[in-house]
Structure 1
Amino acid sequence: MPVQRGYRQACGIARGLDVVGERWSLLVVRELLLGPKRFTDLQQALPTASPNALSDRLRELADAGVVRRRQLPPPGNVRVYELTAWGRDLEPILLALGTWALAAPPTAEQLFVSVDSAMLSIRTYFAPTPEQPGAAIRVELRDHGPAGVFGVRLTPAGAEVSHEPPDEPDAVLATTTDALVTAFGSDDLAAGAVVTGDPEAVRRLLAGVHLPHRMG
């Protein structure tokens, strides 16, 4: 924890910012909400963060007990970073912050959307209707290769999203991250999107994601 730059206040907000208030810290947490990642995966998701800055944030978050490193067993046999149980408690706080911030219009520089950020939008903003049947959907975001493969399960309670695709999906949606985000709230598939299986399940998914409106 970077105490030398801390706020030196006892209130919970100040203490929380001492832990996750450094630049890139909360975005590292965002990228780990759907599961563990390698350092290279985090670099791809945070392309404007320098390797040194990313290493510093991971070390600080690990020292604070928010993140831990783990060695995957064979055949993976790679080192990944994942959230601790305490780190996962940040999810509702982080999603509430994101919802609050969507009320402000984006600037010209705020164009990049990470693949996990797009998929978290599904988990956060999908609103099921009682009459809709459930569905298991494999989502393949082609601009991210293997890291862009997800499983989405539509349930009466919402949308469950993970990096583990279903073994027998009702539908497969292959598209790009930008096209996926553009299609939220619409039942029209983006140009170039390829759907196999049940197209109605994909339409229910896209039409059910309602992002908050901006001010003005």
Structure 2
Amino acid sequence: MPAQRGYRQACGVARGLDIVGERWSLLVVRELLLGPKRFTDLQEALPTASPNALSDRLRELAAAGVVRRRQLPPPGNVRVYELTPWGRGLEPIVVALGTWALAAPRTAEQLFVSVDSAMLTIRTFFVPTPERPETTLRIELRDHGPAGVFGVRLTSAGAEVAHEPPKDPDAVLVTTTEALLAAFGTEDPAALAAAGTVITGAPEPVRHLIANVRIPTPQGA
């Protein structure tokens, strides 16, 4: 945040808000938690942010040391934005803020869910089963096209989510973002069937995934 618009307080909360308190800043951080993105990727994930606003936030976050820009090697050969190690320290803050806000009712305007936000739900709220064998899944959220392809690894420690899918997954789940979010916490993959979901490979990893993503339902304030 520009110095003239800062809070001018030594408190850590105020200093933190001077860095990430501007509109769109924390959502940029959210979108980079699963890996680097191009500017156009960030635009797709934040469709109501103007290009100028997004450019301003990226410039300010880079100046503060939260985000950096780098060139990917061939064959990618594109410029991407990514979190610095210090910027990655914001993850528990972003997750805690999102969990706290679950107590607030969603408004009629709050409909869009970015693909990374949906997949972060898995990483955040998956409850692992001790001693359970590791399994891998390829998830394709078809309403997001190529950007909706992810790899998920379920272990006894938790869920790992990456933009790169595994080469030989135990199961492949093709569905929509809305259907996936609605199925979390249920015990039967058949809950996804009404949305035209396709499951190939072993159905058990899919059942284990959706049953064990347990989104808390806190009481309203």
Q: Give the aligned partner of residue 8 of structure 1.
A: 8
Q: 1:165, CA displacement in angstroms? A: 0.8
Distance 2:76 2:171 in 1: 28
* Structure 1: unaligned runs, 5 residues or longer: none
- In the TM superposition, what are the counterparts of 1:62-101 in structure 2 within 5 Å? 62-101=62-101
Q: Any idea what SS the aligned residue of 1:151 has?
A: strand
Runs of at least 4 residues off by over 4 Å: none
What is the CA distance between 1:104 and its match in structure 2? 1.3
Deviation at 1:133, TM superposition (A): 2.7
Preserved contact between residue 130 and residue 157 of structure 2 (Cα < 8 Å)? no
Superposed displacement of residue 134, structure 1: 1.9
CA deviations on 1:153-203 (whole Å, 9 max, x unpaired) are: 000011111111111100010111111111111133312111110111101
Report how many aligned residue pairs link the two structures: 216
**Aligned pairs for 1:22-101 within 5 A:** 22-101=22-101
Query: Whole-Å Cα distance in 1 between the matches of residues 217 and 131 of structure 2?
Result: 26
Could you say which residue in structure 1 is the equivalent of 2:172?
172
- Aligned residue for 1:124, secondary structure, equals helix
Gaps of 5+ in 2: none
Match in the other structure for 1:111: 111
For residue 213 of structure 2, the aligned residue among 196, 205, 209 is 209
Per the TM alignment, residue 109 of structure 1 is displaced from its structure 2 partner at its CA by: 1.1
Deviates more, 1:186-195 or 1:71-80: 186-195
Counterpart amino acid of 1:196? T
Q: Deviation string for 1:131-153 (max 9, x for gaps)?
A: 53321001111111111111100
Answer yes or no: is the 8 Å Cα contact 1:104–1:215 preserved in 2: no
Residues 143-182 of structure 1 aligned to structure 2 (within 5 Å): 143-182=143-182
Deviation at 1:215, TM superposition (A): 2.6
* % identical aligned pairs: 80
How far apart are residue 56 of structure 1 and its match?
0.5
- Residue type of the alignment partner of 1:69: R
CA contact (8 A) 1:105 1:215 kept: no
Partner secondary structure for residue 16 of structure 2: helix
Structure 1 vs Structure 2 CA RMSD: 1.1
Matches of 1:41 and 1:202 in 2, distance apart? 27
For residues 218 and 33 of structure 2, the distance between their equivalents in structure 1, rounded to whole angstroms, comes to 25
Which amino acid letter does the alignment assign opposite residue 92 of structure 2?
Answer: P
- What SS does the aligned partner of 1:102 have? helix
Moved more, 68-77 or 185-194: 185-194
1:196 matched residue in structure 2: 200
- What is the alpha-carbon distance in structure 2 between the residues aligned to residue 174 and residue 213 of structure 1? 27
Q: Does the Cα contact within 8 Å between 1:58 and 1:67 map onto a contact in 2?
A: yes
